[in-house]
Amino acid sequence: MTTLDADRCYQAVLTRDPRFDGVFFVGVSSTRIYCRTVCRARTPQRKNCTFYPSAAAAEQAGFRPCLLCRPELAPGNAWIDATGRLAAAVARRIEDGSFVERFTDLAEELGVSDRHLRRVVQQEFGVSPIELLQTQRLLLAKRLLTDTALSITDIAYASGFSSLRRFNALFQERYRLNPTQLRKTKSTAIAQDYLTCELSYRPPFDWQALVSYLAGRAIVGVETVTGDRYSRTVRLGQQHGWLTVEPIKAKHALRVNFSLSLVPVLLAALARIKALFDLTAEPHQIAAHLGALALHHPGLRVPGAFDGFEIAVRTILGQQVSVKAATTLMGRLVHQFGEPIATPLPTLTHLSPTAEAIAAVDVTTIASLGILSTRAASIVALAQAIVDRRLSLTPGCPIDQTIAQLQELPGIGTWTAHYIAMRVLGDPDIFLPTDLGIRQALGEKTPKRMMAIAEQWRPWRSYATLHLWKSLERGERFTPEQLHPPVVYSVG
């Protein structure tokens, strides 16, 4: 299990340090409740505190979640080492609802043995995969019971339980309450035609920079940014709908409104929003590592992807053209091959086309939209690879393998494959030495020299890339001493 220094953990509890929110949880023996580091309740005595690397580990030890700080709202932890990435891949599958009970299949998909994957999860989270799965489902159910007017039956199924009986039994076993009792303790839910959830993050968070980036690339009919609010249409499996995301004033959290049609795929929708807005980032840790590069723009996030295929297609269309031109071409593609949808937001009119839909289209038909034939061929090849399951654009997939598979497709080069890995696969350590903006920001022309400079920013080179782009956009300049690592000469 991940080693936690109890004295340092208690200091974080004393100061209610938001940097550690979700990194660990504190169990209080006098109340048998576990809390986040930011809990506003009376600080427990040191002798009553034990510390756990995950909510699941705290629950396994016999603690139930605090009703005040609500551990289900804590931002997820961000792991960067090899073992941690494997455990994080399991956590993501559980979080988005794609892992049910077939752990052997998940191990095969991730390219490791069942035994090794179970050992990794136990080491990182302190519990078995099934216990991690059960905790995730219960915490989502607790959130829905507190924040919505959904029926308990709907909540059980939306949380991933296959039966109401199993849901009630596990809820009583873990929390020593039945679902109805919890709803009675705090019923703020209001019946409405959409569902509202909160997603927490660790401050600082440069929301304006992130939504500005998304606004410049918003697909007409699918996405829109109005002021501080991001909105989009959603297709997840057979479920269609819409959502909006905006920051909550005076809280380190985002408010997400979902159409009720998305309740059956709520887990997947929440996971994709977290990926899109990079909500599991640890900005203080990243900034400390990047040093002077991160001074001008604290809390800068790497924009992710809600729909991996959508972003991959948009990236191909953006090759050697302006952002505005690529956005125009993507809009044409969506309106030609995407499915119309009715929403209460007049700017949201279409669903992005699926890989299956694009794979069935002739290259010349796509080219007739003003898209170069070579780009059209790349898009069809990408779609066909996904349909044939030769390629998966899912966070947690092997990064190097996926990049290599992308580059095997016609018309997809190094920059395109790595940009897709940064945004779609969520790799925090992507650097783009052939990018014109990176060259200008570094004042270098040789990719080899730029890669040498970027070594100092591992494993956060994706964030370094965003900082360089942002600095170039603002006309900011760094001194050579700030960007260039010192040259070390060996003796003898």
How much is the average pLDDT of 10-35?
92
Please give the pLDDT value at position 475: 83
Residue 185 confidence class, pLDDT cut points 50, 70, 90: low
| Per-residue confidence band for 467, with pLDDT thresholds at 50, 70 and 90 | very high
Tell whether 170 is covered by a domain. yes
**Claim to verify: residue 327 and residue 412 sit in the same structural domain:** yes
Whether residue 198 contacts residue 256, with contact meaning beta carbons closer than 8 Å, is answered with: yes
Specify the pairing of strand 33-35 against strand 64-65. Answer: parallel
Positions marked catalytic: 35, 435
The answer to whether residue 288 is domain-embedded is: no
User: What are the backbone angles phi and psi of residue 431, rounded to the nearest 5°?
Assistant: -130, 145
Where a domain ends, among 133, 157, 185? 185
Tell me, yes or no, whether 65 and 130 share the same domain.
Answer: no
Point out which residues pair with 34 in neighbouring strands. Answer: 27, 65
The contacts of residue 367 (CB under 8 Å, 6+ apart) are 373, 376
| 417, 449: one domain | no
Give me the number of domains the chain comprises.
5
* 312 and 397 both lie in a single domain: yes
- Report the CATH number at residue 208: 3.30.310.20
Distance from the Cα of residue 73 to its chain's centroid: 15
Which pLDDT band holds residue 412 (cuts at 50, 70, 90)?
Answer: very high
Strands (E), 238-360: 239-247, 253-259, 339-340, 350-351
Residue 27, SS3 per DSSP: strand
Last residue of a domain, one of 423, 446, 473: 423
Query: Cis omega (within 30 of 0) on the bond before 204?
Result: yes
Q: Is residue 287 part of a domain?
A: no
Please give the pLDDT value at position 401: 93
Give the integer Cα–Cα distance in Å for 316 and 417: 9
Question: Would 299 be classed as within a structural domain?
Answer: no
Contact 57, 1 (CB under 8 A): yes
Calculate what percentage of the chain has a pLDDT beyond 70.
Answer: 92
Q: Find residue 33's DSSP bridge partners.
A: 28, 64
SS3 444: coil
> How large a percentage of the chain has pLDDT more than 90?
64
Looking at the structure, do residues 87 and 117 belong to the same domain, yes or no? Answer: yes
pLDDT of 405 strictly over 50? yes
CA–CA separation, 421 and 318 (whole Å): 15
Q: Are 158 and 144 in contact (CB under 8 A)?
A: yes
What pLDDT does 149 receive? 82
Distance CA 294, CA 470 (A): 10
Domain CATH code at residue 48:
3.40.10.10
Across 77-81, 86-90, 288-292, 305-309, the highest mean pLDDT is recorded for 305-309
SS3 call for 424: coil
**In the prediction, which pLDDT does 147 show?**
82
Whether residue 234 contacts residue 325, with contact meaning beta carbons closer than 8 Å, is answered with: no
Verify that 212 and 180 share a domain, yes or no: no
Q: Which of 373, 402, 423 is the last residue of a domain?
A: 423
The verdict on residue 347 lying in a domain is: yes
Higher per-residue confidence, 152 vs 97: 152
Which run of H or of E encompasses 123?
helix 114-125
Q: Is residue 50 part of a domain?
A: yes
Cis before 459? omega within 30: yes
Q: Are residues 417 and 314 in the same domain?
A: yes
Q: What is the mean pLDDT of residues 48-56?
A: 93
CATH code of the domain covering residue 110: 1.10.10.60
- Is the domain of 409 the same as that of 440? no
User: What does the pLDDT read at residue 83?
Assistant: 55
Sign of the Cα torsion 106, 107, 110, 115 reads positive
At 488 the pLDDT is 39
Helix or strand holding residue 167 (H, E)? helix 164-175
Q: Are 314 and 308 in contact (CB under 8 A)?
A: no
* Domain membership of residue 475 as a residue range: 436-483
Q: What is the pLDDT of residue 168?
A: 94
| CATH number for 394 | 1.10.340.30
Same domain? For 86 and 169 the reply is yes
Q: Are residues 121 and 161 in the same domain?
A: yes
pLDDT beyond 80 at 400: yes
pLDDT of residue 85: 67
Most confident range, picked from 202-211, 264-273, 466-475: 202-211
What mean pLDDT comes out for the span 43-56?
Answer: 94
pLDDT at 101: 57
Inside any domain, residue 340: yes
Tokens representing residue 16 in the block:
């209610």
Statement to judge: residues 418 and 382 lie in one domain: yes
- Between 109 and 309, the higher pLDDT residue: 309
Residue 417 belongs to some domain of the structure? yes
Query: How high does pLDDT run on average in the chain?
Result: 89
Q: Is the same domain home to 419 and 453?
A: no
> Whole-model pTM?
0.84
